[in-house]
Structure 1
């Protein structure tokens, strides 16, 4: 269906989007969309890295977990207002 779009149809869609949202809000919307995409990408990498680390080191000592500093999830590079500490469950006590 998207392959049937030609230049006039694309221009018409862009004009409708500009009329609906306004030219002043479009850069902010694009910026927030890019920020969200970066956050999603970094979280996916962190989950993959965490999954790889958990699979290889299942015999951690309980004292190592207590000595680690609390991890922080950062919303975006340089955005310190929305970062928050993460409370992780102690895996040694769950068994």
Structure 2
């Protein structure tokens, strides 16, 4: 499920926020949301770091994403090598 919000919907949401909280409270609310998002990002990064450190301490391979990306690139190159002569004919 994707979340797509159009410009009109954003305008209606902002109008409701102004009506409920008042224009003078919006900067304070925005600062609080920004601070909360930053704390969440920092906590997420800390958890990732701890998981990676624990995996490395136990001898587990933590570069799975890098290995997958290498394989994807290899398949892309193989497809381009095979499709090259076909593209040139048209």
Could you tell me the TM-score, scaled by structure 1's length?
A: 0.49
Aligned to 2:46: 46
State the alpha-carbon separation in 1 of the partners of residues 37 and 5 from structure 2: 28
Aligned partner of residue 39 in structure 2, secondary structure: helix
RMSD: 2.6
Higher relative contact order (CA 8 A, sep 6+): 1
Gaps spanning 5+ residues in structure 1: where? 60-95
1:64 is aligned to none
Q: Which has the larger radius of gyration?
A: 2
Q: How many Å separate the matches in 1 of 2:56 and 2:29?
A: 41
Give unmatched runs, 5+ long, in structure 2. 60-90
Structure 1 residues 3 and 46, CA gap change in structure 2 (3 angstroms): closer
| Correspondence list, 1:1-95, <5 A | 5=6, 7=8, 10-58=10-58
Q: Distance in 2 between matches of 1:13 and 1:51?
A: 38
How far does residue 11 in structure 1 lie from its aligned partner after superposition? 3.5
Which one has a larger percent strand, Structure 1 or Structure 2? 1
Shift of 1:44: 0.4
C-alpha separation between the residues in 2 aligned to 1:30 and 1:5? 20
